[in-house]
Amino acid sequence: MSNLKFNKSHEWVKVEGDCAVIGISDYAQGELGDIVFVELPEVGVKISEGSSFGTVESTKAASEIFAPLSGEVIQANNDLVNNPQWVNEDPQGKGWMIKIKVENSKEMDNFMDEVAYKEFVDKESQ
């Protein structure tokens, strides 16, 4: 089992010390379909929990990505700009999006582990 945590809007978070890596879940990429465009914030930008920090576009539609946590962006996966298909191929690995310095780790209290998230997705897709 991975050490990723998930929220209800299908983002995942991986905590590394006082930082967190953020991406979208395998379920989310599957729902979006072929991803052809990714737009991410620049390093230094402050993002706040629940607000949009970027855009992914699949052939079907454009979707905003919502910040699961508040904090300052310290790294962005700019390789995705030229390789947006990585979000489809490896959403929880090569398809990571940003790394932030976590402001308030309490925001993670309601996150689900992988098992709980899978149950949540199964229920939602019924």
Partner 1 sequence: MIALKTTPLNLRHTQAGARLVDFFGWRLPLEYESGLKEAKELRCSCGLSDVSHMGEIKIKGKGTFEFLQKLVSNDLRLIRKGQLQYNLFLNQDGGIKDDLMVYNLGEEYLCVVNASNIDNVYAWLKEFKNDEIEIINESQSTSLLALQGPKSYLVMESILGKKLDDFKYMHFIQENVELKPALISRSGYTGEDGFEIYIESKDACFFWDLIMNKGADYGLKLCGLAARDILRIEAGYPLYGHEIDETTNPIEASLGWAVKLNKDFIGKEEIVKAKKNGVEKKRIGFLMQEKGLPRKDYDIYAEVGKTPPSKVSGGSLRPVDKTPPSKVSGGSIPVDKTPPSKVSGGSILVDKKIGRVTSGTYSPNLNEFIGMGYVSIDFSKPDTPIKVKIRDKFYQAKVVNFPFVEAKK
List of residues contacting partner 1 (CB under 8 A): 33-34, 36-42, 45, 53-55, 57, 59-60, 62, 76, 78, 81, 88
CB of 3 to partner 1, least distance (A): 27
> How distant, in Å, are the alpha carbons of 26, 27, 109 from that of 87?
8, 11, 26
Least distance in Å: CB of 45 to partner 1?
6
* E strand or H helix that includes residue 116: helix 114-124
Rg (CA), the chain: 13
Which is closer to partner 1, CB of 13 or CB of 76? 76
- CB nearer to partner 1: pick between 53 and 117: 53
Contact 86, 80 (CB under 8 A): yes
b/e sequence 69-82, b meaning 16+ C-beta within 10 Å: bbbbbeebbeebee
CB of 5 or CB of 91, closer to partner 1: 91
Which lies closer to partner 1 via its Cβ, residue 24 or residue 76?
A: 76
CA dist 25 and 107 (Å) reads 18
- Provide the minimum distance between the beta carbon of 8 and partner 1 in the complex, in angstroms, as a whole number: 23
- Rounded to a whole number of angstroms, the minimum distance from the CB of residue 35 to partner 1 is 10
